[in-house]
């Protein structure tokens, strides 16, 4: 079995739980301001994870700089007339090597798969802009995911490390839950 399949199987519950929370929050959106408030939580978490993985990821994943990241969230927040607070930091898992960094990034990159559903929901709530983050790579999303998974599976090929990689992905999911459910104004 490849690592990505292993992680997928072992994070099903965490994904499901997070999806429920995200959908619930999206359903409360009545205005651009509401949407921006949710995006700020994504920004806080994604930018914190990005900082934690940065020392390990850049050499490992050649197209990392072309990938969707929290700067897209910031652009969307600003398009909606908001701004990101300086120095917002979330609690993130302790990441200590490139395999753990890739396992955490699995969660961020994988979230692109849910993007089309999220954009659809937002449009239903009359949101008309600020979609750059949830649009992912558009038509390229499947191929970008495949490229990511190939690198993940190479770096995490040792089956003895599968459980640790899945644990990292599970922590990455659950710390995000913490950020989403905590009160916003801070």
Residues engaged in binding ligand HEM (CB under 6 A): 4, 8, 15, 18-19, 22-23, 106-107, 110-111, 113-114, 117-118, 176
CB of 22 to ligand HEM, least distance (A): 4
CB of 58 to ligand HEM, least distance (A): 21
CB of 31 to ligand HEM, least distance (A): 19
Nearer to ligand HEM, 2 or 84 (CB): 2
Length of the chain as a residue count: 186
Type and span of the H or E element at 31: none
Tell me the two tokens of residue 89: 């930091």
Q: Quick check: 177 and 30 in contact, CB under 8 A? A: no
Nearer to ligand HEM, 75 or 113 (CB): 113
DSSP labels, 118-168? HHHHHHHTT--S--TTTTTTGGGHHHHHHHHHHHHHHHT--GGGHHHHHHH
Nearer to ligand HEM, 56 or 106 (CB): 106
């Amino acid at each position: 079995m490849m690592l990505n399949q292993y992680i997928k199987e072992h994070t099903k519950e965490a994904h499901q739980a997070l999806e429920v929370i995200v959908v619930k929050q999206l359903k409360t959106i009545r205005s651009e301001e509401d949407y921006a408030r949710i995006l700020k939580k994504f920004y806080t978490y994604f930018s914190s994870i990005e900082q934690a993985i940065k020392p390990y990821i850049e050499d490992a994943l050649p197209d990392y700089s072309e990938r969707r990241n929290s700067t897209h969230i910031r652009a969307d927040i600003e398009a909606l007339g908001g701004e990101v607070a300086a120095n917002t930091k979330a609690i993130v898992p302790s990441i200590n090597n490139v395999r753990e960094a890739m396992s955490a990034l699995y969660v961020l990159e994988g979230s692109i798969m849910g993007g089309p559903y999220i954009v659809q929901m937002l449009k239903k709530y009359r949101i008309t802009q600020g979609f750059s983050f949830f649009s992912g790579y558009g038509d390229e999303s499947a191929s970008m995911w495949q490229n990511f998974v190939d690198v993940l599976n190479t770096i995490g090929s040792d089956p003895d490390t599968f459980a640790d990689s899945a644990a990292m992905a599970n922590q990455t999911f659950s710390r995000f839950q913490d950020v989403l459910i905590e009160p916003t104004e801070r």
